Amino acid sequence: MKKLLSIVLAALMCVSLVVLASCDTPTKDDGKYLVGICQLVPHPALDAATQGFKDALVAELGAENVEFLTENAGNEIPVCTTIVNNFVSKKVDLIMANATPALTAAVNGTSSIPILGTSITEYGTALGIENFNGLVGGNVSGTSDLAPLEEQAQMILDLFPEAKTVAMLYCSGEANSVYQVKVVKEYLESKGITVINKSFSDLNDASLVASAAAAEADVIYIPTDNTAANAAELIGGVVGDTPVIAGEQGICTGCGVATLTISYYDLGVATGKMAAKILKGEADISEMKIEYAETFTKKYNKEICDRLGIDTEALEAAGYVAIEIEE
């Protein structure tokens, strides 16, 4: 009797383990996937990344096999948490978090659903990882929009060699903006430039701080900053004749003279390809390192350059390309 009881218990334990395993690792026999997209704010760079992600995933999986739940937080950080919680309740197969607040909300919201970030400048800064080596681990990976910051800083010196004071204009609440400003500031100061920080807390005081920056500096630098991108046209309306060097094309379109930028659409495509590998079981997200943009393009805003009397022929001779601005 004892021997029989032992056999029965052992069998029950095996069944239990099988059930638990199937709960922890859901299968997708029908090949159809539900993907949640949480985007912090609508602006050209993030919009392009989202579109690239969707296009790549559809190309990899087929339109009939993937359904997107696309939500925009309208630059309200707490809304990112609400969006992510909704994705978790709907048991999405993967979350794409577009911008740092969306990523941190996703990381805080689930430790089991795969999370891919995009438009994240520096993951170590965004997630509080010291000595970040490119691998987040766990259920998180993604792509970075980190540009060559020292090259962007050198653009200021090359285009405006007589500038003595440069203002760093950024949102103090965006950790990645703080990181970029630190790097650019150190580089410029090593070249003898006086650098002043001009930070704003939200969209409401962006134009006021931008106006003050224009009054105190010869040139303004704006890093890849979601709040600044959302306020780019407002900033452009108050900086007057003070030129702006921007961290990415979207900001440059609204208020900048020039930028060294990535293609956010291509960044989204790279993220979508990562997602396809994860969903098809071809890659383990815990082993996927952050991917970085491979190419950067010098671009200029012809309208603003013409208004400020900047020689665009000389810019093109130096390898700059005009931004195509949609009417």
Are the C-beta atoms of 154 and 166 separated by less than 8 Å? Answer: no
Tokens of 27: 């299968």
The tens digit of pLDDT for each residue in 49-66 reads 999 999 999 999 999 999
pLDDT of residue 156: 98
Tokens of 83: 């969006």
Query: Which residue bears the tokens 């021997």?
Result: 3
Is the pLDDT assigned to residue 71 strictly greater than 90? yes
What b/e sequence results for 141-175 when a residue is b if at least 16 CB atoms lie within 10 Å of its CB, and e otherwise?
A: bbbbbbbebeebbbbbbebbeebeebbbbbbbbbb
Q: What is the mean pLDDT of residues 29-42?
A: 89
Is the pLDDT assigned to residue 31 strictly greater than 80? no
Is the pLDDT assigned to residue 157 strictly greater than 50? yes
Q: What is the mean pLDDT of residues 313-322?
A: 97
Query: Which residue bears the tokens 């003279």?
Result: 257
pLDDT of residue 167: 98
Phi, psi of 47 (to 5 degrees): -60, -45
Q: How far apart, in whole angstroms, are the C-alpha atoms of residue 88 and residue 86?
A: 5
Q: What's the mean pLDDT when you consider all of the chain?
A: 91
The tens digit of pLDDT for each residue in 204-256 reads 899 999 999 999 999 999 999 999 999 999 999 999 999 999 999 999 999 99
Set out the domains of the chain in order of their start, with CATH numbers. 33-145+264-292 (3.40.50.2300), 149-261+297-322 (3.40.50.2300)
In this prediction, residue 203 has a pLDDT band, given cuts at 50, 70 and 90, of confident
Please choose, from the candidates 294, 272, 35, 295, the residue with its C-alpha nearest in 3D space to the C-alpha of residue 141: 272
In this prediction, residue 327 has a pLDDT band, given cuts at 50, 70 and 90, of low
Is the pLDDT assigned to residue 320 strictly greater than 90? yes
Tokens of 115: 């999370």
Q: What is the mean pLDDT of residues 36-48?
A: 95
Q: How far apart, in whole angstroms, are the C-alpha atoms of residue 256 and residue 243?
A: 7
Beta-bridge mates of residue 165:
194
Are the C-beta atoms of 116 and 291 separated by less than 8 Å? Answer: no
Q: How far apart, in whole angstroms, are the C-alpha atoms of residue 186 and residue 194?
A: 10
- Output the pTM of the full model: 0.84
Are the C-beta atoms of 225 and 171 separated by less than 8 Å? Answer: yes
Q: What DSSP assignment string belongs to 273-288?
A: HHHHHHHTTSS-GGGP
Q: What DSSP assignment string belongs to 154-207?
A: HHHHHH-TT--EEEEEEETT-HHHHHHHHHHHHHHHHTT-EEEEEEESSGGGHH
Is the pLDDT assigned to residue 11 strictly greater than 90? no
Is the pLDDT assigned to residue 108 strictly greater than 90? yes
Phi, psi of 137 (to 5 degrees): 85, 180
The tens digit of pLDDT for each residue in 273-305 reads 999 999 999 999 999 999 999 899 999 999 999
Is the pLDDT assigned to residue 29 strictly greater than 90? no
